[in-house]
Amino acid sequence: MIRGPITGGAHEWAFGRPLFDLAAHGYVEAEYVLTGEATTYRRAPRTGWGRDGRWTAEAAGRAPFTTRMLVYRPADPVRFNHTAIVSWNNVTAGYELFQGESPEILQGGYAFVAASVQRVGVHGFPANNQGLAAWDPERYGSLSIPTDDASYDIFTQVARAVGPNRARGGVDPMAGLDVRKVIGIGASQSAGRLATYVNAVHPLERAYDGFLLQIYFGRGTPLEVGPATVNVDMTTPLGKPDPAALIRQTGLAGTNLIRDDLDVPVMVVNSELEAIACHGVRQPDTDRYRCWESAGTSHVSHAVSLVRAAKYQRDFGEPLPVLEHMNRIAITPLYDAAIHHLNRWVYGGAPPPSQPLVAFAGDPPEVQRDRFGIAVGGVRLPQADAPVATNSAVPLAGDLAHLLRGSCRPFDAETLDALYGDEATYLARFEEAARRAVRAGVLLARDVEPALEEAAREYRRVRGAQAQAAAQGAAMPDHKLNPRGRDVAVVVGATSKWQADGRNTRLAHGAVLDDSTVPVSARWGVGGAIAQKFAEAGFFVVMTTRAAANAAGLAQAIAEQGGAATVVEMDLASQASIAAAFEAIRRDAGDPAVLVYNAGYLEGRALPREQELLEFFPVEMFETALDIACRGPFLVAKEVLPAMRQNGRGTFLFSNNSESLRGRKRRTGASLYYPRVMMRALAQALTEEYSEHGVHVANVIIDGAIDSPGTRALPNIRADALIDPAKIAEAFYYLHVQDPSCWTHEIQLTPAVQRPSY
């Protein structure tokens, strides 16, 4: 049963609708409720489910459902091209993602149907529910999808509700339009589900005339999952930012083909990232199959992220950070070209032109790249053939969220000058590349002019950054120490006073200690453990210290662990030293994505018992304490927070101690710690100022003695009272990867055997 069109609700608009008025493009937007019983499927007994994709399914049961269809259709029937495109809405984010407002769809006269077919789209994740029913109970409260097992047949029923043989006696979502062909599309996770639909369900139902799988990882999804909510972990660190290794580690590598006995056309359009995932399941083009792989692109682009962020702000009322240095080549024009060709194909016309695939070599196979680091072979969009930057699928950090976003490294002035000289020459070269793409069939002629406009903006953006750097008397950042463009984590105070040759160690023990039996994670205290943790997670780590020699052993340890790091000297008592250090960091590594302020000081420890009172404390020692605990973090924050705010993301963490909780009398042998109350206050102030800009600020109270070469050698020390620096580092990393919906702004770490301070 179909009901609608539905209107109203708390928000008074359909979730995920375009950011503009479709009426201005000659389209009607209408939303409908579809209710029925869906067939669930299982693998047929004694049949294979193998690599060839020739899968056999059978009916397993029935499941009642109520879902929605969001329809865009031409207002004038004369403009309708007789094709309805049905989208399997993506739910990986915990809410529905789809986009049916592209130039090919709106100018080509298609009808577009956004179909809610999965449980998460309606009911959301158990935590932070952003499903339709929770987003607007008035409009969507009646919707129900009990299991993803029903999704395959719901997708079939949507096709039949809008297709050429639909019932005409009741509500017609197509408003009488003469639909002759129905094409199913799905992207990313939805493409995986669509692959299973093509291989196992389509042979039974034959409701679609063709399929387009976008950014498809080469593996189908199960027919049966029961009530389970299928989700992926986006933020857990997985390893080095190597796309092939991360794909293998996450289980995203392709496992099956699209069956080769198809009766309808199937097309796959992949970015460079999915080309890596699908390398092991590549299959030749046929009269019913085409695969395009696009060089220099990634799963998600900067332009697509901006649209998604704008919709998120409108629908949820909150900002969604967009990575500044993520891949900047939009694959959406390639999708439009694919739809254009596929539509001709389903009517019996010529298939899409076959295209070269991305070049691989080696064992395991790796993408071959030119001198700029851009993939060789594949579909050549003009941004890859006339580049102003190295765009690739190589991520900025080693987690799934970064893996999907790739990276963009702008060329320096010298490279741009050598390639093009000036903007006019560049745009002429870009237009030549765009015309080649049109002739190859991978770019539609209508998209050349918008691409040229975008190219001019991108050229000016890169040149503007160069000019700004020159005006400030600095070279254009070349990130020579971080050529792969990894996210940068800066640890201020990366070494420890209690390391084997630290000042506290020498003061307490009168000698340098042997640390060969100390775990490498504990040899340089908290700062060293944090540096190792972020390096392990794929960050380029910058360790600051007053003397580079102090961190030489730590840098070597990170290198031996396969990480990437460098040491920068910085004196927190000197504003000039701080400014120079961060200028070098930005130039040679990049803007910090993470800043951990872990600096400490000794001042006061050597004073005897009779000089415990404030009146005996030397002013110069007090000034040093202020430099490290108050003025230093203020100056460091001024260096890193502007870029974090502009990028819409960043993490600024303070490593503090229990003396920051309130003012206390200084004990004999202790430093003057009450200035650390000011550090805590600064963390609280920055939280209020910068959270809304996507910057996570937190104060970490380390409430106890920290395991290190110097502390474990102290007399009468209890081993179970020493906090493991590696566990402290895990707490810091946990804060970094927290979801913005539930940020923690202060934590206190205390050994179980010790009473917490307050």
CB 310 within 8 A of CB 78: no
CB 678 within 8 A of CB 629: yes
CB 323 within 8 A of CB 647: yes
pLDDT surpassing 90 at residue 549? no
pLDDT surpassing 70 at residue 307? yes
Better-scored residue on pLDDT, 714 or 235: 714
pLDDT value at residue 617: 66
pLDDT value at residue 579: 92
Cα–Cα distance for residue pair 484/478, rounded to 1 Å = 11
Cα–Cα distance for residue pair 6/136, rounded to 1 Å = 13
H/E stretch holding 29 reads strand 27-43
Cα–Cα distance for residue pair 197/203, rounded to 1 Å = 9
Averaged over 81-97, what is the pLDDT?
A: 97
pLDDT surpassing 70 at residue 232? no
How many Cα atoms are found within 13 Å in the side-chain-facing hemisphere of 531? 37
pLDDT value at residue 479: 67
DSSP-based three-state secondary structure for 582: helix
Q: For the ranges 153-167, 229-243, 583-597, which has the lowest average pLDDT?
A: 229-243
Q: For the ranges 105-109, 294-298, 641-645, which has the lowest average pLDDT?
A: 641-645
Most confident range (mean pLDDT) of 333-342, 518-527, 549-558 is 333-342
pLDDT tens-digit map of 412-462 = 888 999 999 999 999 999 999 999 999 999 999 999 999 999 999 999 998
pLDDT value at residue 197: 98
First to last CA, the chain: 62
Averaged over 129-144, what is the pLDDT?
A: 97
For CA atoms 380, 382, 387, 392, the dihedral sign is negative
pLDDT surpassing 90 at residue 573? no
pLDDT tens-digit map of 260-305 = 999 999 999 999 999 999 999 999 999 999 999 999 999 999 999 9
H/E stretch holding 735 reads helix 725-737
CB 218 within 8 A of CB 274: yes
CB 182 within 8 A of CB 84: yes
Better-scored residue on pLDDT, 200 or 468: 200
| Percentage of the chain lying above the pLDDT 90 cut | 69
Q: For the ranges 80-94, 187-201, 466-480, 732-746, which has the lowest average pLDDT?
A: 466-480
pLDDT surpassing 60 at residue 39? yes
Nearest-10 crossing angle of helices 552-560, 525-536: 30
pLDDT value at residue 86: 98
Contacts (Cβ under 8 Å, ≥6 apart) of 471: none
CB 629 within 8 A of CB 676: yes
Better-scored residue on pLDDT, 398 or 707: 707
CB 565 within 8 A of CB 489: no
Cα–Cα distance for residue pair 676/111, rounded to 1 Å = 63
pLDDT surpassing 90 at residue 695? yes
Averaged over 541-567, what is the pLDDT?
A: 89
pLDDT tens-digit map of 668-679 = 555 566 678 889
pLDDT surpassing 90 at residue 482? no
CB 709 within 8 A of CB 498: yes
pLDDT tens-digit map of 645-666 = 988 889 999 999 888 787 766 6
Cα–Cα distance for residue pair 328/335, rounded to 1 Å = 16
Read off φ and ψ for residue 282, nearest 5 degrees.
Answer: -60, 145
**Rounded mean pLDDT of the chain?**
91
pLDDT surpassing 60 at residue 320? yes
CB 122 within 8 A of CB 143: yes
DSSP 756: P
Confidence of residue 472 (pLDDT cuts 50, 70, 90): low
pLDDT surpassing 80 at residue 32? yes
Q: For the ranges 89-103, 128-142, 555-569, 658-672, which has the lowest average pLDDT?
A: 658-672
What global pTM score does this model have? 0.71
Token code pair at residue 534: 């972020």
Amino acid at 154: I
Integer CA distances (angstroms), 30 to 75, 82, 159, 564, in order: 11, 18, 16, 53
Q: Looking at 393-549, which runs of residues are DSSP E strands?
A: 407-410, 488-492, 540-545
Cα–Cα distance for residue pair 746/700, rounded to 1 Å = 6
Averaged over 327-342, what is the pLDDT?
A: 97
Averaged over 328-341, what is the pLDDT?
A: 97
For CA atoms 566, 576, 550, 717, the dihedral sign is negative
Q: For the ranges 10-19, 362-371, 496-505, which has the lowest average pLDDT?
A: 496-505
Q: Is 231 exposed, middle or buried (0-12, 13-18, 19+ CB in 10 A)?
A: middle
